[in-house]
A and B are shown apart, each in its own frame.
Chain A
Amino acid sequence: MAQTLFDKIWNQHVISDLGDGNDLIYIDRIFLHERTGSVALKSLEEKGISVRSPNQVFATIDHIVDTLPGRSDETMMPSGSQFIESLRESVRREKINFFDLNTSRQGIVHVVSPELGIALPGITYICPDSHTCSLGALGALAWGVGSSECEHALATNTLIKEKPKSMLVSINGVPKDGVTAKDIILYLISEYGANGANGHAIEFRGKTIDEMSIESRLTLCNMAVEFGAMTGIMCPDKKTIDYISGKAFAPKEEEQELAEEYWAKLKSDEDAHFSKVIKIDASKLSTYVTWGTSPEHAIEIEEKIPSISQANSSKENESIKKALEYMGLKENDAIKGTKIDAAFIGSCTNSRLSDLRVAASILKGKKIASGIKAICVPGSSTVKKDAESEGLDKIFKSSGFEWRESGCSMCFFAGGESFGENERVISTTNRNFENRQGKKTRTHLASPATVAASAIKGEITAVDQIERRT
């Protein structure tokens, strides 16, 4: 029977059929961070169980650690150091691969993992973090789990799982100038809802994907979870293989040849069946930005904020009403031109070198609007170093942006640093939930280009409204 890419990887990893629809699945790689990895490792230790294959497990510090220069284990979040120290102690005890603070390989898990060749095509990969789906961009079957499942995988190299339904999102057409992977995924979620892919694993496919850089593909897959999917995945191609080649943990020599031969064939059969199919013409899309408190609350930047009574159900009307109250916005108003207080470039969605290059190309020779707090947080120590070697840090700093150490930073408020009450932030992150970036902070999700352009104007605006210097 014809199989999807997902089916093929899944079937390659089935140890046994446990009946009742559940399979025992082998897990090749596990990545942990101090926020949730610490509690999983500690809980295992309390149960007297050790990590089964520590050399298949990785850990780094990204969530709680500060991103201000000169940082240490002490954090602005009260008790944050407890998470860092607990993880460090556990990884030493269990002999897990560890990229500690102030070492060159530290960074956001989902940025570090592709950068080091840890996530690979055809493997099963988990992390106790919802945005693990990012790694599907490389053709890995990668998904986020909770602590209990993570403990199970650490102890046994397996998970018990029911195979999800399949969805194909086919994206074709050449996007207009300034329209990015972030705009495409925001469109998808706004069109089909934050629950639109519930119970499904998505395969993203099409000419638009073929033309996309690996880093843009990572951005697109990153937000599959905001669409309700178990994960997103893309077929590995020549770009993927070239990207992985030479990375620190990537296969080498004969193993590399064998692996590449296998990866090159790894794709869905032509007649593979998907339980749901969505087709997108990317050439028709414009810049997207969110107005509300769910990623599904996204509109084209030239569109008006929806009216409360326009939704399909009273539940949705109520949701729009609550979101507008929280965001301090009015129905039917323009989103473009809305004054902002802050701009944030960072997170596992949009903090890679290409994201910073795009933002820097817009900021070059310009100043951000007065009174705007603007922060750029590179996704990893490597991204930071590479950006600095190109002089991007100087562009950010002279435009008025702060230039930080790598980490998740202000993507979420953990009790330390945050944006202020009722402050309006345009952000390259993935979640515009209530209180996500600070108490009563109002988040608008957008691409790095839109965030840079908006920081210059001091209001929500598209990049085509900004004169660019090359």
Chain B
Amino acid sequence: MNPVKIISGIAAPLLRINVDTDAIIPSREIKAVSKKGLSEGLFSEWRYTSILGRKPNDEFVLNREPYNRSAMLLTGDNFGCGSSREHAVWALQEWGIKALIGTTFGSIFYGNCIRNGLLPIKLSSNDIQKLIDYVEKDPASNQIVIDLEKLSINFGSSEIVFAFDKKFQTLLLEGLDEIQQTLKLDNEISSFEEKHLERNPWLGAAISN
């Protein structure tokens, strides 16, 4: 994974509540056993007036200037609820979204964002409103800068500080691969496993009759 440190750019408000992962990437847009080729299907039910013809819906925020160049989304409560499909994250990233700023996120979706370096930032609705007010005055010029090292969001002359899991902050800043990191702990895992199976001898290898 590429290290993530500073993210800056245009932020698009997409403030509907309970935006589910079916809306972010409808199942029918997941056409291959792959993490790629998904951006075209991003928000396809909202983004196109004709899905098959891919005719853009001019009313959808990401189709409008300058939001069609957004690097982040300002989101409503419970963004990314529903299906566990990680394709939602891959589609957002491939389209160009690097960070999401919202009050709450679907819990599986939140974990998926972190694992792919798509920054999910939780703020209070008041703080999000400040960002919306700032952005909407002049979306092209009023860009937002996120610093993952300082855990700060800068907009104009203002700054908001956000909380973020320290372990994942390090992982993202250094661009480390979580699996490779854990594989280094294999001795510890194996010795736990041995004791665990002694306590629970019915676990371990599954045997069927």
A195 with B77: CB separation less than 8 A = yes
A369 to B23, CA, bound (A): 32
Q: With A251-B202, A433-B82 as given contacts, are A149 and B111 in contact (CB-CB < 8 Å)? A: yes
A167 to B45, CA, bound (A): 35
Please indicate the chain B residues that have their CB under 8 angstroms from the CB of A435 in the complex.
Answer: 22-23, 26, 45
Q: Does B3 contact A (CB under 8 A)?
A: no
Q: Which of A156-164, A336-344, A352-360 contacts B (4 or more CB under 8 A)?
A: A156-164
The 0/1 profile, CB within 8 Å of A marked 1, for residues 72-112 of chain B is: 00001110011111100100000000000000101111011
Please indicate the chain A residues that have their CB under 8 angstroms from the CB of B82 in the complex.
Answer: 130, 225-226, 431, 433
* A170 CB → nearest B CB, Å: 23
Q: Does A176 contact B (CB under 8 A)?
A: no
Please indicate the chain B residues that have their CB under 8 angstroms from the CB of A248 in the complex.
Answer: 208-209
Please indicate the chain A residues that have their CB under 8 angstroms from the CB of B61 in the complex.
Answer: none
Q: Which of B10-18, B62-70, B149-157 contacts A (4 or more CB under 8 A)?
A: B10-18
* A427 CB → nearest B CB, Å: 14
Please indicate the chain B residues that have their CB under 8 angstroms from the CB of A296 in the complex.
Answer: 18
* B75 CB → nearest A CB, Å: 12
Q: Does B115 contact A (CB under 8 A)?
A: yes
Please indicate the chain B residues that have their CB under 8 angstroms from the CB of A42 in the complex.
Answer: 33-34
Q: With A39-B33, A86-B33, A412-B22 as given contacts, are A18 and B167 in contact (CB-CB < 8 Å)? A: yes
Selected contact of A434 from candidates B23, B112, B186, CB within 8 Å: B23
| CB-nearest residue of chain B to A248 | B208
A296 to B18, CA, bound (A): 10
| CB-nearest residue of chain A to B114 | A148
B45 with A434: CB separation less than 8 A = yes
Selected contact of A198 from candidates B35, B51, B78, B192, CB within 8 Å: B78
Q: Does A466 contact B (CB under 8 A)?
A: no
* A152 CB → nearest B CB, Å: 5
Selected contact of B34 from candidates A12, A13, A39, A433, CB within 8 Å: A39
* A173 CB → nearest B CB, Å: 29
B17 with A315: CB separation less than 8 A = yes
Please indicate the chain A residues that have their CB under 8 angstroms from the CB of B203 in the complex.
Answer: 28, 56, 123
B179 with A151: CB separation less than 8 A = yes
**Known contacts A19-B167, A195-B77, A256-B202, then 9 further A-B pairs from the complex at CB < 8 Å, ordered by chain A residue:** A26-B192, A39-B35, A79-B32, A156-B189, A194-B81, A228-B104, A255-B201, A431-B82, A431-B83
Residues of chain B touching chain A, judged by Cβ–Cβ distance below 8 Å, are 15-18, 20, 22-23, 26-28, 30-35, 45, 51, 76-78, 81-86, 89, 104, 106-109, 111-112, 115-116, 165-167, 178-179, 182-183, 185-186, 188-189, 192-193, 196, 199-209
Per CB-CB distance, the 6 closest pairs between chain A and chain B, nearest first, are A251-B202, A415-B28, A148-B115, A146-B112, A146-B86, A55-B205
Residues of chain A touching chain B, judged by Cβ–Cβ distance below 8 Å, are 12-13, 15-16, 18-22, 24, 26, 28-29, 35-36, 38-39, 42-43, 47, 49, 53, 55-56, 58, 77-79, 82-83, 86, 97, 116, 118, 120, 122-123, 128-130, 144-149, 151-152, 155-158, 160, 162, 164, 194-195, 198-199, 225-226, 228-230, 248-249, 251-252, 255-256, 258-259, 262, 294, 296, 315-316, 318-319, 322, 412-415, 431, 433-436, 439
